[in-house]
Amino acid sequence: MEQQSTGAPLSPSPTGYVTRPGVVTFICIGSAISIAVQIIGVVLYTIGKYKIGDKEYFITIVVIFIVLGVFSTIILGLWSAKNWARIAYVVVFPLNAILGLLGNPNMMDIASIPLLAVVCVLLFRPKASAYFRGVALPAIDPASGLEIGDRKIIPCPSCGKEIYSNILSCHHCGADLKQENGHHPAV
């Protein structure tokens, strides 16, 4: 996944999809599912505990939906590459998990702390950081795992077949293409 131009943040890929790192997509989808489950659980709990006409029922529902609205806003900010959302995520979501541990801890809360720590670290890795800053990273060649950079297709000076401008030797004829200054003779 890469961004196509350095000038425009969130530039679309040739297929029309926004190029976001997989970890950001995973966090957004996982958090959205978690919020949906929490909404269902909290509404069922509140309906079971309070009578629908009570003042406590109304206050509880309003507070819960405000909190879940904040979480949803952060997730939507992550989805649309807002740096404030990344910072808010690493503050709000772990704080919520810690508060869950202080209240009535269960195994789910205990297991979520290490997972949240890993996720928060992944949000600040180079690819994710570049995504939130709107900076294009160089493309990676899937075959070699190396950066493609600004390569062009040029003719080999020895055999004339097409090669990439950033290779050091022709894979057709084996000609050495590097010079003292590191540039190809054909470029």
pLDDT in tens, 9-22: 444 444 333 467 77
- The confidence score (pLDDT) of residue 74 equals 92
Given a contact cutoff of 8 angstroms between Cβ atoms, the answer to whether 57 and 50 are in contact is: yes
Cα 171 from chain centroid (whole Å) = 36
Half-sphere exposure of 137 (CA within 13 A, CB side): 19
Q: Are 75 and 88 in contact (CB under 8 A)?
A: no
Decide if pLDDT at 90 tops 60.
yes
3-class DSSP assignment, residue 168: coil
The helix (run of H) or strand (run of E) holding residue 154 is strand 153-155
The pLDDT value recorded for residue 140 is 64
Q: Which amino acid, residue 110? A: I
Q: Which tokens go with 59?
A: 């206050």
- Sign of the C-alpha dihedral computed for residues 72, 74, 77 and 81 taken in this order: negative
**pLDDT exceeds cutoff 70 at 3:** no
Give me the residue label for tokens 């992550």. Answer: 78
Q: Give residue limits of the domains in the chain.
A: 22-133, 139-187
Output DSSP code: residue 155: E
In this prediction, residue 23 has a pLDDT band, given cuts at 50, 70 and 90, of confident
Pull the structure tokens for residue 2. 């890469």
